[in-house]
Amino acid sequence: MAPLLSIVTPSYNQGRFLAETLDSILAQGIAGLELLVVDGGSTDESVEVIRRYERHLAWWVSEKDRGQSHALNKGIARATGTWLAYLNSDDVYLPGALAALLDALQRSPGAQWIAGGVVGFGTADAPVHEWHLPAVPRTMLDLLSSRFQAAQPGHVWSRALVQQVGGFDVSLRYLFDINLYAALLARGVRCHALDRPVAGYRFHATSKTVAEGQLFEKEWDILRARYVPSLGPLDRLRAAHRIRLLKAQALAADAARAAEAGARVEARAGLGRAVRRHPGVLL
């Protein structure tokens, strides 16, 4: 019998968090769980940690790869479950999360994609954020012109569906998950929402969301260029307006950080750029 749920955990030099991640998966007590770990050739204690959990793993590897999306695709190629999820090696599932997600899928005939809420948590060297309920991507317009969507650790998909769209785009370093959502929405697949938190997203100084946040904007531009043309004329106008405001808000946030750092000239110039981009940023 095929496994019910395959979970892929990509990892690279996150050995200090990996055991907690794997423990949170195994503690779910789900029958038919298939767990695959794809390590990118870590030089820390990661392989040592993986070996301790080897008897619980359907497959694992530690070898150099081309990044997180490539690692995920390697795991997906090995996965055999009906359902698919991935949990990064510094995140965790909350108690009862997977049972709740799978139960919600079974109660929604025809559902192929669901997302629950995610709670952000930090460490001493990073800020703490919180999300409680999922703002699931319902339309392509909302996905491309809204900065906040249901965070990745809360998602479960049909494995066959993910494989049909080609998995994750290896040319993207940051927004390969958003690109998957866009590809699914383009096929008319609906994302169902589970109105409870199911996972914890860890903020720390080396997480990409904290360490490389400004670089996300470049990939947003790539995705918008890729998918905005598929919108109708009115939605393209709406997207252009919303995106200008989002970019202005990003510039204003940069200006605020510069002001906090005492760089007043830079902060003033940044705020000016934000207002020129969209005057509504001051409202």
Q: Do 166 and 31 share a domain, yes or no?
A: yes
**87 and 116 belong to one structural domain:** yes
pLDDT of residue 211: 42
Residue 128 lies in a domain: yes
Across the range 128-142, mean pLDDT stands at: 73
Same domain as 253, residue 134: no
Q: For residue range 103-112, list pLDDT tens digits in order.
A: 999 999 999 9
Q: Treating both helix axes as pointing N-terminal to C-terminal, what angle do 68-78 and 176-186 enclose, rounded to 10 degrees?
A: 60
Contacts of 170 (CB under 8 A, 6+ apart): 66, 67, 69, 70, 73, 176
Q: Greater confidence, 8 or 146?
A: 8
Whether residue 19 is contained in a domain is answered as yes
Looking at 216, 245, 264, the residue that finishes a domain is 216
pTM of the model: 0.88
Residue 223 within any structural domain of the chain: no
Do 71 and 183 belong together in one domain?
Answer: yes
The answer to whether residue 127 is domain-embedded is yes
Domain membership flag for residue 79? yes
Q: Which of 173, 192, 216 is the last residue of a domain?
A: 216
* Cβ within 8 Å of residue 169, ≥6 positions away: 69, 176, 179, 180
Q: Let me know if residue 222 belongs to a domain.
A: no
Assigned domain for 120 exists: yes
Cα 28–Cα 5–Cα 147 angle in degrees, nearest 5: 85
What's the CATH number where 18 sits? Answer: 3.90.550.10
Residue 225 maps to a domain: no
pLDDT at position 210: 42
Q: What is the mean pLDDT of the chain?
A: 90
Give me the domain span that covers residue 266: 232-282
Domain total of the chain: 2
| Among 216, 244, 270, residue at a domain's last position | 216
For the segment 29-42, what is each residue's pLDDT rounded down to a tens digit?
999 999 999 999 99
Report the C-alpha gap between 117 and 94 in whole angstroms: 10
CA 210 – CA 222 distance, rounded (Å): 21
Amino acid, res. 219: E
